[in-house]
Structure 1
């Protein structure tokens, strides 16, 4: 089994929906592109990625959303070094169909009170649903490591909630730990680094907006 040296997770740059949440009433979530600021964020992240990967090979998985595809293209990675696949399981949490602005704001308030992991949008998914499909993707990812020519790096171009849930699943964090963490900013990354002991560690933690609730399994 060839385990990659790095597994890099990147959140897309600022999208039209990040800049103006009323746009969801007029356009599907998956069709929203990057703003000019989001494109600059992606280009800046691309500079760092090219320096980080050097001439090493990279296996890339991209969420099927327009903003993640545009983010990846802005990285300007050497096409001779990357193997790219669209991966629907890395998509954003589904809110379902067209969105009524006032209704979505109300549901977000409910979610904040109920908990981001368990609350399910009326026509969409809960965080737990996203966790399940991220877990299914991880099974596929681990099987890919069995290929003798697997690239030295893995890059996931995805969404903030999905990044947190990927790390929750990988590091076996509790729901309480997940609930205490904030999303990374647009264009931000987190990297799982392979150590000499064969274990991965996170290059830097997610910011916390509160202390985890003291219940459940802790170790």
Structure 2
């Protein structure tokens, strides 16, 4: 691979605030993939778009976006259409599958089970485990690396996705341990993490994910961020 073709920046953004972020009972009547942003979620995305425009220095951006409505609406509200050629809808960047129409009480019970079992390996009934999402993110990475090789590959890449998917993308990219992953919090709505290319063509995160349990990262894990 020609390392000089690697993008300068790979930005990850979580969708803005959705109606289900305010009330989980929305999942009882609305499919997860059809949950929309709130008005505030659109505002969050618009503000994030201004910061991303500065980051990208007004240059072209290749976009991969989850097909979930809240991710598509986030992309639209970023206001970066003039920098984006074609935004590729990428199902492998979707949210972790939890169920179809959800039973809120059952999901709350399963979330408690997941906390004791482990977020990476716990499989929701009729849904996925974190490790399943990790596998499809790994498959997506192969596609993205092939795209880096195209002659018109831009210097900026943007992934519009979901909190868990963002964490697992970084886990796969930086080869973090399961134990370290288990300590990490999701980013907030419309929050970003950016992989910045270094002079040696490796990447570092602009900032780490917050941790919700104590764990001292290894030297390798700490080396993932600036």
State the TM-score, normalized to the length of structure 2. Answer: 0.92
Q: Does 1:23 pair with 2:26?
A: yes
Match of 2:175 among 163, 172, 175: 172
Please tell me whether the aligned partners of residues 4 and 194 of structure 1 are also in contact (alpha carbons under 8 angstroms). yes
Counterpart selection for 1:159 from 158, 162, 187? 162
Show the counterpart of 2:196. Answer: 193
8 Å contact 2:174–2:221 — kept in the other structure? no
1:56 paired with 2:77, answer: no
**Count, aligned residues:** 218
Which ranges of structure 1 fall in alignment gaps of 5 or more residues? none
Q: Summarize the Cα distance change of 1:186–1:147 in structure 2 as closer, same or farther, 3 Å threshold.
A: same
What is the CA-CA distance between 1:88 and the residue it aligns to? 0.1
Q: Is the 8 A contact 1:55 1:81 kept in 2?
A: no
CA contact (8 A) 1:190 1:204 kept: yes
Match of 1:123 among 106, 122, 126: 126
* Offset, 1:54: 2.5
Partner of 2:102: 99
**CA–CA separation in structure 2 for the residues paired with 1:116 and 1:197:** 34
Task: Please tell me the root mean square deviation across aligned C-alpha atoms, in Å.
Answer: 1.8
Alpha-carbon spacing, 1:125–1:17, altered in 2? closer, same or farther (3 Å): same
Structure 1 contact 12–186 (Cα < 8 Å) conserved = yes
What do residues 155-212 of structure 1 show as CA deviations (whole Å, max 9, x unaligned)? Answer: 0000000000000000000000000100000000000000001100000000011123
Confirm whether residue 212 of structure 1 aligns to residue 215 of structure 2: yes
- Does structure 2 conserve the Cα–Cα contact (< 8 Å) formed by 1:176 and 1:213? no
Correspondence for 2:153: 150
Secondary structure of the residue aligned to 2:62 is: strand
Task: Summarize the alignment of residues 33-52 of structure 1 with structure 2, pairs less than 5 Å apart.
Answer: 33-52=36-55
Looking at structure 1, the residues matched to 216 and 57 of structure 2 have their Cα atoms a distance apart, in angstroms, of 42
Q: CA deviation at 1:57?
A: 1.1
Name the residue aligned to 2:88: 85
Cα distance 1:51–1:82, how it changes in 2: closer, same or farther (>3 A)? Answer: farther
State the distance in 2 between where 1:187 and 1:141 align: 22
Gaps of 5+ in 2: none
Superposition deviation, residue 218 in structure 1: 8.4
